[in-house]
Structures are given as structure tokens and as C-alpha cells.
């Protein structure tokens, strides 16, 4: 029995969200290539993305479940259908949407690429585990590689001839960069000899591209910090001392091979400055964290839409002679509205963060650019965490709605649940994002991004008041006040970091509540009286009403202190 497919994306709400984005018109006015991102052009792009995803990526997803990657003769082999779809994806230019025109990209705003990725990942999140690192590596190489490497790598990455990975984690070190042992030794010809072991490398080996560039962190004898290298899988048709040690057996994302990699005197090319690798790698990491948000959004949207369609079709209960659609039942309506409102608020937030990221890069007014960059940095750990948690939670709720059917492989929900679980882990766990928000964004930077966010949220609340939506404005004010008050209290704890760290994850959750509240406030002001606009406003009002109680809980937990953690001693 074949599995029910994921329904094709409805691009109407996506178009409406893009049309009301703050800052997008500004982007179109300051970057010539961004002016091409008109409403009609973007609608055509998204329509093509929806068709490609439903017609081709759905097949890759199902094939990966039945024919997962295999390690044969030192190379990972994927399901045959994967290669043809990859070539179609690359030749259609999907890799190049937001990459610079100067290097052969289409030069569209990041938010367009994020919207397309959302559509692709709702059908096959594992497929996106290759193009996202490749696009991110292209930005890294563009920023730090010498001109000859740029000329060699950028065109091939952009058009899918070559692939790329991010190689940070090592056995026993994980995300603890200070404990990494991979070593790079300089050679007389200006290259480096790289030796070490790396773990959890997505698409570390595969048969989709001719060559793979490993963006790798390693130690050098001449620097205190780590350095960043580009290590090709092969050079001139010969192996470059890069080996696959094994494939991980894992819960989900079966179409995406996760490899343990070995480097034995592999030739590497230094990117940027020696000892500055971790800071430079953040160009790639930041892009991939944003992509996690989009991936989670796509998966959550799929789960929510599957549940909605099922609730309309499945009949059970009722007082008449015939059973009624289960969407007539109050608790099912609650679940459907929870899922749909969460997706729309998250979409508004992730799209806004993408626009602020571009404004931070391109804004001609230095002060406005600095503020957009600070806001984007404040939102980044929120977006990354939200995407992962939303995908898993929505899939879980969808499974609850479908009941026993959702637990079977006859429906895509059980796979979405499995695939989504890793999202809160990779590219920095939820705990790491929370510590980053506390230590870097709140303490080190003095809450500059938070200050700018508060200004944007205040402005959205003011619009609600002008519209006469005083109840909704009041609910939003409560959430914002909780965030400000909690942040002010945490700022006083720099001398007692453990007290604040004990509530860091709760503070991240509170910051997420506020970010979603900001999104809901903006969606409540969506103009127009069409069915899509009415739906967005209704879901925003429903979602905003749920956020207040959640924010109160998170604010209390953020300030609960470390004393309660002393109970861990009893577990010895």
C-alpha cells in the first residue's frame, strides 16, 4: 500500500505574508537585483517550487525510506531517483536564488530563497541537507577565499556540480571547539596537510556531485584559535586523503547520509586568517541556522495541512444518524487552530528575520544597517530553535489528531515526527542557542538587538491601537512587558552567571513568545478582505490569545534561579 502524499503547498498565505513584510520594499529600492523580486515574479517562482516539490521531491522522500544510502567501495550511494532529481533541481537554478549576480547567482532577496526552501522541505527535508550547506559554503568562500579558489569553486557550487559540507564536530568534543584535535600543518607550496576525524557530517560522501568541499576547522601550531580550511574530496581526479569511516544509523532524514569522516594528510586551503576560523565559520553557521528555521517551518506546514485535510474528511461521532466530520468536534478544532496559527506566526517571524539579515548586509544608511544586523542576530537563535521545536510539536499534534492512522506508515506524519526530532539538535542545540542569547546578545552586546526588537514590537502594538484593536494590543503589551522586565533582571546577574544560566532556556522561550507576539500583531494588521487575509487575521488573533499565559510561565522559570538544581546531587 502506497503512502498518502504530502499535499502541495498553498502559496496564497506565503504570497500574502511576503506582501506585508516590513523592510522588503526598502530592500528592493537599495539593491538593483532585488528590484526583480516583484510580487508577480515571486509568485511565479513559488508556484514552480510547489510543483517541483510535489512532483519530484515527494518521490525522493519515499524512495529514501525504502532505499536508504549505502556505503559501497568507500563512497555513499543514494537511491537512483535522487541523482536525477538533484540534477533537475540544480539545472533549474534553485541553488542560486539569493546568491550574488557577480558570481552567477540570481541576486534575489534571502527571503525568497527561504520561502522556496520552506516549500521544498515540506516534501523532503532530507533533500535540503545538501543544497543548504552548498549555498552556505558559497557565501563562506566568497567572503574568505582567495580569488583563484573563488573562480574555481563558486560557479560549480552554485550549479550543483560540486557539493560542500560543514566539518566541526569530533568524537569526544562535539560542539566544544576547545577540545578539537584535527591538525593542519603548513606545506612549502602554501597548502596545508590536514589530519583528523570528524563526525555527524551530512552528505559527507555521496554520488550526486563530482567533488565535495569540506569546510573544516582544525588546529595549527602557529595560532591559539582554530583555523578554517577548504579540503576537497579529490584533486585532479585523484583521492585527497578523505575517507568515509562509516554511516550513522539514525531515527530520521533517511535520504540524507550522515557520515563519520577521516582526513589523512589531506590537502587543505586556508580560508581567511589563521586562528580566526571559528569566527569566520559563523558566516556559514548563521546561514544554516536560518535554514533550520525554514526547514522546520516547511515540515510543520506539511503536518498541519495533513491534519486539517484529515479532520475535514474523517467522520466520527455526532448526534445524528450519520457521523460528522471530526473537525466539528471542539477538541479537534483546538488542535487544528493551534497548528495553523503556530505555522503562520512562525512564517511571519522567519520571513522578517530573513529581510533584516539582508538589510544588515546591504543597507546604505550605516545606522539603519547596524540596527538591522543587530535585530537579525537577536532573532537568529529564536528562529533556529523555533523551527526545530515547531516541526516536532506540530507533527506530534497531527499524529494525535489522526489517531492510530497517524502512527502508521500509511501517512507521512510519523516520518515528519522522526525527521523533525534532530532539528533542535544540529547547528547548535536549544541549550546552546539559549546560552548564546544570554551571554552574547544580552550581556556582551548589552541587549542592543533586544532594544531594537522592542521598538519594532511597540510600533506594531501602536498600529493595533490605531485600528481599534485595543484588546489584542493589551495582550501584546503584557507579553512585551514580561520580556523587558525579565531581561532587565537577568542583566543584573552577570556576576552570578549560574543563576541566569539555570533559566536561560526559559528566557529563550520567553523571547520566542515575544517574537511570535510581534508576528501576530503584524498579521492582525494585514490589509484586505479576501479569504487569505481574513484567515491570517483570525489565526493571528487566536495565536496571540495563547501566548500570554505561556509567556508568564516562561518569565517565572527564567528567574527561578539555580538553587532548585541542587536536587541533581541526589541522583548520584
pLDDT band of residue 444 (cuts 50, 70, 90) is very high
Query: Which residues contact residue 241 at a Cβ distance below 8 angstroms, ignoring those fewer than 6 apart?
Result: 194, 263, 264, 265, 266, 267
Residue 52, domain member (yes or no): no
User: Mind listing the pLDDT tens digit for each residue in 460-507?
Assistant: 999 999 999 999 999 999 999 999 999 999 999 999 999 999 999 999
Whether 37 is in a domain gets the answer: no
How many structural domains comprise the chain?
2
- Separation between Cα atoms, residue 216 and residue 228, nearest integer Å: 6
Question: Is residue 490 included in any domain, yes or no?
Answer: yes
Contact between residue 290 and residue 329 where contact means Cβ atoms under 8 Å apart: no
pLDDT band at 1 (very low <50, low <70, confident <90, very high): very low
With beta carbons less than 8 A apart as the criterion, state whether 143 and 74 touch.
no
Q: How far apart are CA 517 and CA 529, in angstroms?
A: 22
218, β-bridge pairs = 227
Range of the domain at 458: 430-564
Is 268 inside any structural domain? yes
**Within a domain: 113:** no
Indicate whether 185 belongs to any domain.
yes
Range scoring the smallest mean pLDDT among 168-172, 177-181, 314-318, 561-565: 177-181
Cβ–Cβ < 8 Å for 411, 363: no
Domain assignment of residue 358, yes or no: no
Q: Going by C-beta distance under 8 Å and a sequence separation of 6 or more, which residues neighbour residue 193?
A: 184, 185, 186, 187, 265, 266, 267, 268
Grid cell 578554517 is found at 228
The pTM of the full predicted model, rounded to 2 decimals, is 0.96
**Domain end (from 259, 277, 295):** 277
Given a cut of 90, whether residue 3 has pLDDT beyond it is: no
CA distance 470 to 131: 45
Q: Which of 277, 292, 319 is the last residue of a domain?
A: 277
pLDDT digits (tens, 9 = 90+) for 49-103: 999 999 999 999 999 898 999 999 999 999 999 999 999 999 999 999 998 888 7
Query: Which DSSP state fits 6?
Result: P
Give the pairing type, strands 211-218 and 162-167.
parallel
Could you read off the pLDDT of 192-242 as tens digits, one per residue? 999 999 999 999 999 999 999 999 999 999 888 999 999 999 999 899 999
Domain end call among 216, 243, 277: 277
Which grid coordinates are listed for 541?
488573533
- Looking up residue 267, the CATH number of its domain turns out to be 2.40.110.20
Q: Is residue 313 part of a domain?
A: no
- Residues recognised as catalytic: 427
Amino acid at each position: 500500500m502506497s503512502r498518502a502524499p504530502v499535499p502541495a503547498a498553498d502559496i496564497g498565505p506565503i504570497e500574502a505574508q511576503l506582501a506585508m513584510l516590513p523592510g522588503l520594499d526598502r530592500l528592493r529600492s537599495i539593491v538593483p537585483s532585488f528590484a526583480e523580486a516583484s510580487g508577480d515574479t515571486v509568485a511565479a517562482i513559488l508556484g514552480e517550487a510547489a510543483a517541483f516539490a510535489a512532483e519530484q521531491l515527494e518521490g525522493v522522500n519515499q524512495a529514501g525510506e525504502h532505499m536508504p544510502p549505502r556505503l559501497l567501495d568507500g563512497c555513499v550511494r543514494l537511491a537512483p531517483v535522487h541523482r536525477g532529481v538533484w540534477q533537475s533541481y540544480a539545472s533549474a537554478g534553485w541553488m542560486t536564488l539569493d546568491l550574488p549576480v557577480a558570481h552567477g547567482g540570481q541576486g534575489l532577496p534571502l527571503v525568497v530563497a527561504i520561502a522556496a526552501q520552506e516549500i521544498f522541505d515540506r516534501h523532503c527535508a532530507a533533500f535540503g541537507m545538501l543544497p543548504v550547506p552548498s549555498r552556505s559554503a558559497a557565501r563562506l568562500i566568497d567572503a574568505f577565499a582567495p580569488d583563484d579558489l573563488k573562480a574555481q569553486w563558486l560557479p560549480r557550487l552554485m550549479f550543483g556540480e560540486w557539493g560542500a559540507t560543514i566539518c566541526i564536530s569530533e568524537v569526544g568534543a562535539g560542539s566544544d571547539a576547545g577540545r578539537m584535535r584535527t591538525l593542519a600543518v603548513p606545506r612549502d607550496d602554501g597548502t596545508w596537510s590536514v589530519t583528523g576525524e570528524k563526525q555527524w557530517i551530512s552528505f559527507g560522501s555521496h554520488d550526486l556531485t563530482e567533488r565535495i568541499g569540506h569546510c573544516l576547522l582544525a588546529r595549527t601550531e602557529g595560532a591559539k584559535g582554530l583555523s578554517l580550511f577548504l579540503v576537497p574530496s579529490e584533486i585532479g581526479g585523484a583521492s585527497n586523503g578523505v575517507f568515509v569511516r562509516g554511516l550513522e544509523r539514525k531515527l530520521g532524514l533517511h535520504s540524507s547520509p550522515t557520515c563519520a569522516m577521516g582526513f589523512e594528510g589531506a590537502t587543505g586551503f586556508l580560508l581567511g586568517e589563521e586562528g580566526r576560523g571559528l569566527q569566520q565559520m559563523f558566516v556559514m553557521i548563521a546561514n544554516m541556522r536560518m535554514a533550520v528555521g525554514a526547514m522546520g517551518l516547511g515540515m510543520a506546514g506539511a503536518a498541519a495541512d495533513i491534519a486539517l485535510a484529515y479532520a475535514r474528511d474523517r467522520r466520527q461521532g455526532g448526534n445524528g444518524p450519520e457521523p460528522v466530520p471530526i473537525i466539528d468536534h471542539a477538541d479537534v478544532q483546538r488542535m487544528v487552530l493551534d497548528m495553523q496559527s503556530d505555522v503562520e506566526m512562525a512564517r511571519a517571524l522567519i520571513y522578517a528575520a530573513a529581510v533584516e539579515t539582508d538589510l544588515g548586509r546591504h543597507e546604505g544608511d550605516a545606522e539603519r544597517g547596524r540596527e538591522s544586523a543587530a535585530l537579525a542576530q537577536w532573532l537568529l537563535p529564536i528562529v533556529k530553535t523555533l523551527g526545530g521545536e515547531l516541526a516536532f510539536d506540530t507533527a506530534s499534534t497531527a499524529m494525535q489528531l489522526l489517531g492510530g492512522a497517524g502512527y502508521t506508515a500509511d501517512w507521512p506524519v510519523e516520518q515528519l515526527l522522526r525527521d523533525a526530532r534532530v532539528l533542535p539538535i544540529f547547528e547548535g542545540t536549544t541549550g546552546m542557542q539559549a546560552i548564546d542569547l544570554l551571554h552574547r546578545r544580552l550581556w556582551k552586546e548589552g541587549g542592543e538587538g533586544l532594544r531594537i526588537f522592542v521598538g519594532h514590537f511597540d510600533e506594531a502594538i501602536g498600529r493595533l491601537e490605531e485600528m481599534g484593536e485595543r484588546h489584542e494590543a493589551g495582550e501584546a503589551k503584557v507579553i512585551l512587558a514580561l520580556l523587558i522586565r525579565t531581561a532587565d533582571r537577568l542583566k543584573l546577574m552577570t556576576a552570578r552567571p549560574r543563576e541566569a544560566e539555570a533559566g536561560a532556556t526559559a528566557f529563550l522561550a520567553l523571547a520566542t513568545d515575544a517574537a511570535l507576539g510581534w508576528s501576530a500583531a503584524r498579521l492582525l494588521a494585514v490589509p484586505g478582505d479576501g479569504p487569505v487575509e481574513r484567515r491570517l487575521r483570525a489565526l493571528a488573533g487566536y495565536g496571540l490569545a495563547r501566548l500570554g499565559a505561556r509567556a508568564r510561565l516562561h518569565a517565572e522559570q527564567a528567574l527561578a534561579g539555580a538553587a532548585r538544581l541542587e536536587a541533581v546531587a541526589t541522583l548520584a
